[in-house]
Amino acid sequence: PNVLLLGAPGAGKGTQSRRLTEEFGIEHVTTGDALRGNKEMDISHLDLEYDTPGEYMDAGELVPDPVVNEIVKKALNDADGYVLDGYPRNESQTEYLDSITDLDVVLYLDVADDELVGRLTGRRVCEDCGATYHVDFDPPAEAGVCDDCGGDLYQREDDTEETARERINVYEENTQPVVDYFREKGVLVEIDGEQTPDEVWDDVRDAVAERA
């Protein structure tokens, strides 16, 4: 299946995407991870505010559409079934996505704003396998060490309180309209993202299985 997973920063998109890839044997296409792997890429030829993706990311702003659209097009071309996470984030990305692929399921993880900041500032990520933990809600057995692979855990540079709040503002302004667009089209499956990760997963898995 081709799955689109929408939700605010910290809503649990990465957490649920990992499970979807395992359950359905599909690719995880995430613009956030792709951009984190290319933070220093030279985009000065676009002649915009900053010269690298990383400068946008560390400010909590959106990376310019031409950079992100290119990444998504290539990744979706290469995938036989995917869960797309972190894209589209504005109207123009939504139109671009419509022009390059067909979606089977659009899921929205609904989490209130005041819950998001705490999730983001407490997040820790494995530097080897990308598994995600939370210091309070989902701690690893041994502090700072990945349960899955033994790798070291780190904090993302954009998970400071200040940048997290800015990301949520940018989301409200640019990406909430994307959610509304799919809701008005009648294809949005809304999931209560404030349940435990396992409860959210039950809803996510059922929604995809029904439509795959």
Q: Is 19 a catalytic residue?
A: no
Within the chain, residue ranges assigned H as helices are 13-24, 31-36, 53-59, 65-78, 91-100, 113-121, 161-170, 176-184, 197-211
CB closer to ligand AP5, 47 vs 71: 71
Catalytic residue selected from 73, 156, 165, 211: 156
Q: Is 123 a catalytic residue?
A: yes
Handedness of CA 209, 177, 172, 72 (dihedral sign): positive
Residues 6+ positions from 133 with CB-CB distance below 8 Å: 123, 124, 125, 126, 139, 140, 146, 147, 153
Residue 15's binding partner out of ligand AP5, Zn ion, none, with CB under 5 to 8 Å set by partner kind: ligand AP5
Q: Is 132 annotated as a binding residue?
A: yes
CB closer to ligand AP5, 44 vs 92: 92
- Are 25 and 81 contacting, i.e. CB atoms less than 8 angstroms apart? yes
Q: Pick the binder of ligand AP5 from 134, 178, 179, 182 (CB under 6 A).
A: 134
Q: Is 211 annotated as a binding residue?
A: no
CB closer to Zn ion, 55 vs 147: 147
CB burial class (10 A; 0-12, 13-18, 19+) of residue 79? middle
**148 near Zn ion, judged by CB under 5 A:** yes
Region near Zn ion per CB under 5 A, out of 46-54, 116-124, 128-136, 160-168: 128-136
- Are 208 and 24 contacting, i.e. CB atoms less than 8 angstroms apart? yes
| Residue 179 C-beta-side C-alpha neighbours within 13 Å | 18
Q: How many residues of this chain bind ligand AP5 (CB under 6 A)?
A: 36
Binding residues for AMP: 31, 36, 61-63, 86-89, 93, 156, 167
Contact positions vs ligand AP5 (CB under 6 A): 7, 9-15, 31-32, 35, 56-57, 60-63, 68, 86-87, 89, 93, 119-120, 122-123, 132-134, 137-138, 158, 167, 196-197, 200
